[in-house]
Chains A and B, each alone.
Chain A
C-alpha cells in the first residue's frame, strides 16, 4: 500500500490538508478474552459525518494476521452513537488466533456518490465551494493509523546474535534506522558468555544479583541505541523504521523521555525503560 496516493476526492487522514481543523478520525483498540474491542471516533462536521449518519458510509477495519497472512474485514454495523458533532462506533471482533492481528481502520463509502463542496463539507480552501467530485463505491474516505499491539516491544527492536570473535564480556550494538518491514532494526552482537546470559533474561523485574546483571546488559544496549538515535535526530532528516518509531512512542509514554529532545539523556531513559536495580529487601512488607 502506498501512503502517497493522489486522488480526485478528499480523504481524511493525518496531514492530508483536505479537511479543516476540528475534523478528525481516530481509532483505539484493546484486546482481552480473545476479542478485539475497537472504537472509531469521527469528530467535527464534514461530508463524511453526513454520509455515516445516513448509513451511506461505515467504519471498517481490515485485520492482518501476520503469521498466516490471512486478512479479514469487518464493517461496523452496530454500536454507533452520535452527539455534538462526534460519531462513535464500537466493534467487538473475535480474534481467530492466539495473537492479536494488525488493524487497518478506515471509513468506507457504500455507494457511488457525488459530493458538492460547501460550508458544511468540512473541507479546506483547497476545495472550492461549489466544486463537485465523484467518489466511487467502496472508496476509503478516511484512513486511520495502522494499529499494532507489540510493535515497540524489545523483542521486536533488538536481535541478539552470538559473535564468537568477540572476547569474553564484549558486545557491539548496530542500529539500522531505516530497516524495512519484518526486519529487526537493532543487532546486539555478543560474545558467547554474554549471549548465554541474555538467553536467560525474562520479562520479570530482577530479584537476584544475577538477574540484575542480565537486565543491565539490556539497559546498556538500549543506552547505546538511544544515544545513536538522539545524535541522528539532531543532525539530519532521515527515514526511521516503523519498529523504532513505535519504540519511541512506547518510550515516551512509559518514561516521558524522547530522543528527539535536545536535553535527552540516553542513560536515564534506558534505565527507566529497562530497570536493573533490585528492589529493596522486604518490599511489600508493611512496617507500619
Chain B
C-alpha cells in the first residue's frame, strides 16, 4: 500500500491523552488560547508538541484538500462540498481513510494553507451565535473546568483525534470523514446487485439516516457492515421512502437484524430476501 504523509497514530493519540489528562488544566487553557490566536501560534504549538517529535509523523506521498471552507460549511458541508471531499480522496486506499493520523494531518495542513482557521475547530454553529471564537471565549472566561474540557474535546474531535471518542470519530464526529464515508458507502453499495444507483443511495443516506447508520455500524454490534444485509436495508428504505420511517425506528430495526444474526446467517441471504425479512421486522415494531 502506498504510504501517505500523516501523523503517527500513537503520537496523535498521546497528544490527545496529554491534553485531556486533567479537566480545565493550564495545558487545556493554553491550547484553547492558541486556537483562538490564529494560524501562526497554532502551527507553532502543533510543531512543538507533535510535528517536530522524532516519531510524530510518518513520511509518504503528500495529499491535501484544496478547498477554502466557510465556518458553517466546515461543520455541515452541503452535498456539493461533500462531493468535492469525496473526489479529492476517492482514489486513496480505503485503509488510509480510517486513519485518524491521516485526517489529522490534512486538518493541520488546511490550516497552514488558510483553507480553514484554527478557531473553526471549536465551532458549534448549529445556532447563529456559537462561532468557534465565541465558544473558546466563553470557555476561557467561565473558569468552569468542565466547559474548558468540553471545548478542548470538541477541538480534538474536529481534528479527528481518537482520544475523546475512539477511532469511530472518523465516521461519526469528524466532519470531513463523515462526508467522505457517506459517499464511500454509497459507492460500495451501488456496485452491489440491489437495483439502486449511487444518487439513490445518497438520497436514502441523508444526514439523519447517516447518523443512525454510522452510530450502529461502528458500535461493532450491528450486522449491517455485511453487504447483503446492508443492501437489504437500503432496498427496504427505498421502498418506504414515501413513508419515511423515524430514525429511532431505523435504529430498532438494525438492532433486531443484529439479534437475528446471532442464530441465523443472514449475511448468506440475498439482499432481496433480507429486504423481505426487514419488512416483517418493521411491521411488528
The residues of A with any CB-CB pair to B shorter than 8 Å are 1-3, 5, 7, 11, 60, 62, 64, 66-73, 75, 97-98, 106, 108, 136, 138-140, 160-165, 181-182, 195, 199
Contacts and interface: CB of A to CB of B under 8 A. Distances in A.
B225 A71 contact: yes
Interface in B219-237: 220-221, 223, 225-226, 228-229
A227 B268 CA distance: 46
Given A1-B259, A64-B225, A67-B98, A138 B17 contact: no
25 contacts: A1-B221, A1-B258, A1-B259, A1-B262, A5-B263, A7-B263, A60-B265, A64-B220, A69-B218, A71-B226, A71-B229, A71-B267, A73-B267, A97-B95, A108-B265, A108-B268, A139-B265, A140-B264, A160-B17, A162-B21, A163-B21, A163-B22, A164-B25, A165-B22, A181-B220
Which 9 A-B pairs rank lowest in CB-CB distance, beginning with the nearest? A71-B225, A1-B262, A71-B226, A73-B267, A108-B265, A69-B225, A162-B21, A138-B265, A69-B217
Contacts of A181: 220-221
Contact of B223 (A66, A67, A71): A71
Given A7-B263, A66-B220, A73-B226, A182 B166 contact: yes
Contacts of A195: 18
A5 B267 CA distance: 19
Main DSSP-derived SS at the A contact region: loop
B261 interface: yes
Nearest to B218: A69
Interface in B128-187: 166-167, 171
Interface centre among A2, A69, A98, A160 (most CB of B within 10 A): A69
Contacts of B226: 62, 71-73
B90 interface: no
B111 interface: no
B210 to A, nearest CB: 14
A146 B17 CA distance: 31
Given A162-B18, A182-B166, A98 B1 contact: yes
Contacts of B268: 60, 73, 75, 108, 138
Interface in B92-114: 94-95, 98
B14 interface: yes
Contacts of A98: 1, 95
Interface centre among B95, B229, B266 (most CB of A within 10 A): B95
B239 interface: no
A102 B225 CA distance: 13
Contacts of B171: 69
A70 B225 contact: yes
Contacts of B94: 68
A161 B94 CA distance: 31
A1 B261 CA distance: 7
B262 A2 contact: yes
Contacts of A69: 171, 217-218, 220, 225
Given A73-B226, A138-B265, A182 B95 contact: no
A108 B264 CA distance: 8
Contacts of A73: 226, 228, 265, 267-268
Nearest to A3: B262
A160 B229 CA distance: 38
B37 interface: no
Given A68-B94, A69-B225, A140 B265 contact: yes
B269 interface: yes
Contacts of B223: 71
